[in-house]
Amino acid sequence: MAINCPACGYRDCEVRSGGGISPKGRHYKLRITNIYDLSRDILVSETAAIKLPEIDFESIGGTLGGRFTTIEGLLVAVSKQLVSTNPFVVGDSSTPEETTGKLGSIINQIKEITSGNKLNVLFELKDPSGNSYIQNLYAPDPDPELEMIEYERSEEENELLGLKDMKTEGYETTDT
């Protein structure tokens, strides 16, 4: 779904999954070692969460929305979202404590990553629906910096996806 308002300039391009939920969740681990890793395509489903352990940042599933972009584009969007939801952390209204505080530090470190000044950072994408994807730059060969792990979802994740109460067998009714 794409929105482009000519009056105010607002633009949004959200991706929604049209398929089902994969039998297993997916957990991607990408080591960002050079600027080319930032240009990898990434498909993020509405249930995915990201984590950057080196800068102590983690988003919860559902906060990013579904989108197709690059690693850099996703990190820029995360940074903008953090600033827009916490406007007094940066800008002329911020105090030195806020700017140098935890959130200000995370925003600055994300900017350092997207500019290519901070590399050798682990980027993790965890999607319980299994509908997210990170581009393999070496396809069809294995990517030395990218690991994809399929995992069994937890009961909590199954409940979040609405799978726990879903009856998939024996739901047919017979007329007698």
Whether residue 164 is contained in a domain is answered as no
Q: How many domains does the chain have?
A: 1
Whether residue 48 is contained in a domain is answered as yes
Whether residue 158 is contained in a domain is answered as no
Whether residue 169 is contained in a domain is answered as no
Whether residue 4 is contained in a domain is answered as no
CATH number of the domain at 130, please. Answer: 2.60.120.1040
Which residue range is the domain that position 38 belongs to? Answer: 21-153
Whether residue 109 is contained in a domain is answered as yes
Whether residue 173 is contained in a domain is answered as no
Instruction: At 169, list the tokens.
Output: 């067998």
pLDDT on residue 172: 67
**What is the mean pLDDT, run by run of 10 residues, along the chain of 176 residues?**
65 59 91 97 94 95 86 95 78 57 91 97 96 96 97 87 69 61
Whether residue 121 is contained in a domain is answered as yes
